[in-house]
Chains A and B, each alone.
Chain A
């Protein structure tokens, strides 16, 4: 019996090494997608690169806590958003205390008001907005709103995944998303109607 143990151990170690390699490869295959989200969560490209590197460093060390078959991208983003919080991002007044925004149709209504209802039928109407203005508007959202909008609109996560990543109830995701998008549209109005 005792003689079999080294062989059993060896098999276990080999299996674990295979699992680890597979984990690392799957995680690396998601790097571009993780970076895209990271880039919009922080102010500069350098910060985003650092954040992604720290995320992968931690992920590779704690790979055993990932459950195979679950959403690896969400798992990585959860590490990333936690690290981003740990980085001493300034604590903001809770965004829920901010004054109420305009409605969901606000941007469309303003454009229709200034250029006539038919403007909304134009296929490329949104292209009036520059890339710069969109990036700036996103960056100017309160952190909690921005995190949620970026995860759902850039990262294409479901409400449920975003809730898990940010460790908040799904209702909070919905309200932050809703209000974040409204604020975003308010910030874009000036350019849209100029």
Chain B
């Protein structure tokens, strides 16, 4: 099923959120988003999903690893 201009907007979604589109493509996406609730909701959803994946999937370095890495340094010196 085709949504017409929404298909083009969906196509631009990833590059838009990654800030990897050309200026012309950004303009194209934004002018569509201005008038389309359907796509705007989905862009916003995708943006929060992106941030959420990033924050929940992050695990900090275990305590003690930095010391081991520092030891590698002095060993080699």
Contact = CB atoms under 8 A, between A and B. Distances in A.
B20 interface: yes
A138 B41 contact: no
Contacts of A181: 14
Contact of A32 (B41, B50, B60): B60
Contacts of B72: 53, 56-57, 60
Contact of A154 (B10, B15, B54): B54
Nearest to A63: B76
Interface residues of A, number: 49
A45 B15 CA distance: 32
A83 B47 CA distance: 32
Nearest to B52: A126
A45 B62 contact: yes
A146 to B, nearest CB: 11
B59 A36 contact: yes
Given A53-B68, A126-B49, A129-B52, A32 B61 contact: yes
Interface string A106-134: 01110110000100110101110101001
Nearest to A40: B57
Contact of A31 (B57, B58, B66): B66
Contacts of B20: 158-159
B30 to A, nearest CB: 17
A49 B65 contact: yes
B27 interface: no
Nearest to A52: B65
Interface string B36-72: 0000011011101110111011111110011011101
Contacts of B41: 108, 112, 117, 120-121
Contacts of B13: 104-105
A52 B14 CA distance: 30
Interface of B: 10, 13-15, 18, 20, 41-42, 44-46, 48-50, 52-54, 56-62, 65-66, 68-70, 72-73, 76-77
21 contacts: A31-B69, A32-B61, A35-B59, A35-B60, A35-B62, A53-B72, A57-B76, A104-B14, A104-B46, A105-B42, A107-B49, A120-B41, A126-B45, A129-B52, A131-B56, A134-B52, A134-B56, A138-B57, A152-B18, A153-B53, A184-B53
